[in-house]
Amino acid sequence: MERCTERRACKTLLQWRHSLHILPIIATLAFFATFIACSGKYKDPPDLTSSATSVFVYNGDVYVTGRKYDKSQGKNVATVWKNGLPQFLPTQGTGSAGYSVFVSEGDVYVAGIQWIDPRSGSLPPNLGQATLWKNGVGQLIGNNDIMSSALSVFVSDGDVYVAGFFNFYTHWGSVVKNNRVVSDFAPLGALAYSLYVANGDVYVGGHDKGHRAFVWKNGEALYQYGGNEHTNVHSIFVSGEDVYLAGYFGDDSHGCRIIALKNGEPLLGDYSFAEYGSSIFVENGDIFTAGTSGRLGTTATVWGNGIPQHFGNGVASSAWVSDGNVYVAGMSRLPPHTDGVACLWKNGVPQELK
């Protein structure tokens, strides 16, 4: 893979941990701005661009999903990169995108969307259909509703869970289990962005009809954040008995702001505008959040226990830590790729995903 240009490299995991002994440790969970109040990773990129939205490491292999322009098809299509080698996923209609990748027992699952209307550019609503690809074979899920999308996939004990929104015109379900829309894990009318299964318990993060951020555990509200402001949970991670979540809150006058919660308690005493996180990963007590920072929210950033490392113009969408290496998937807009190119940072060193 060819390296994409950047001005500043992030520290390695060991350097991060060394700096934690010097700087005050503030365990940070960043919150990601969504289609409601802010631009985000679910926005449809322009043609000829590519983006990466999720990374997963399995048996030393690095899997990334997102979307890339396929010249042979003349459209952006959902793509899986395995160790940098792309595989275009079969696509009907005008295009597709992969939003989440999960690997279980060697099977590769990708949750995403296939668009059926050329006017569809951002979520929701879209004239698109929620799709789950397994080992490159696509299947429409959620009763084939034409206004639906799959945003997160998790496999546990052979059961496949998908979070998103389904049956938009009817009940607007938010979780699919083994290709059946269920209301067991989140109420009807909710929109689910993230899903995590631990010890048989199903955690779902998103927002309700009133745009209040929620975490549901086995269908019961575990945490709620926000009142009249637009709030959302974009990522959940469970470690032991601790539940970490990333999301955002925003308003019309100030835009998006980071918040951080662990077991429902805020971890940050001060909030910054135009900064948000899109992914959380916890490894040996260290908390890593991928997202975007800067006055206009245009700088790809990773926070290691609250310490930001900036990658330059772009978006950091997903983080994973394995064997002491920090992997971040996202989009770089640094020259010569000012329109955006899918990128994978490993310990801060960027590699273009071709």
Query: Which string of b and e fits 30-41 if b means at least 16 CB within 10 Å?
Result: bbbbbebbbbbb
Assess if residue 4 is contained within a domain.
no
Is the residue at 283 inside a domain?
yes
H helical segments located in the chain: 13-20
Per the model's pLDDT, the better-predicted residue between 46 and 61 turns out to be: 61
Residue 184 lies in a domain: yes
* CA-CA-CA-CA torsion sign (342, 344, 350, 354): negative
Segment 271-291 mean pLDDT: 81
For the whole model, what pTM was predicted? Answer: 0.83
Q: What pairing do the DSSP bridges indicate for beta strands 191-198 and 180-182?
A: unpaired
Q: Looking at residue 142, what is its pLDDT?
A: 79
Residue type, 176: V
pLDDT band at 47; cut points 50, 70, 90: very low
260 domain-assigned: yes
Over the chain, what is the mean pLDDT?
Answer: 78
Q: Span 9-29, mean pLDDT?
A: 32
pLDDT at 139 over 80: yes
Average pLDDT over residues 18-45: 32
The pLDDT of residue 198 is above 60:
yes
Give me the mean pLDDT over the 229-241 stretch.
87
Does residue 2 form part of some domain?
Answer: no
Report the pLDDT value the prediction gives residue 255, as an integer from 0 to 100: 62
The pLDDT of residue 131 is 95
pLDDT of amino acid 33: 29
The domain that holds 120 is classified in CATH as 2.130.10.10
324 versus 36: the higher-pLDDT residue is 324
Domain ranges, residue 281:
13-352
* Domain count of the fold of the chain: 1
- Range 179-184 contact pairs with CB under 8 angstroms and sequence separation of 24 or more: 179/132, 179/139, 179/141, 181/142, 181/143, 183/219, 184/218, 184/219
The reply to whether 138 falls in a domain is yes
State how far the Cα of 344 lies from the Cα of 354, in Å rounded to an integer: 11
10-14, 88-92, 210-214, 257-261: least confidently modelled range: 10-14
Residues of the chain with pLDDT > 70: what percent?
73
State the pLDDT at residue 227. 63
pLDDT higher than 60, residue 77:
yes
Residue 3 resides in a domain: no
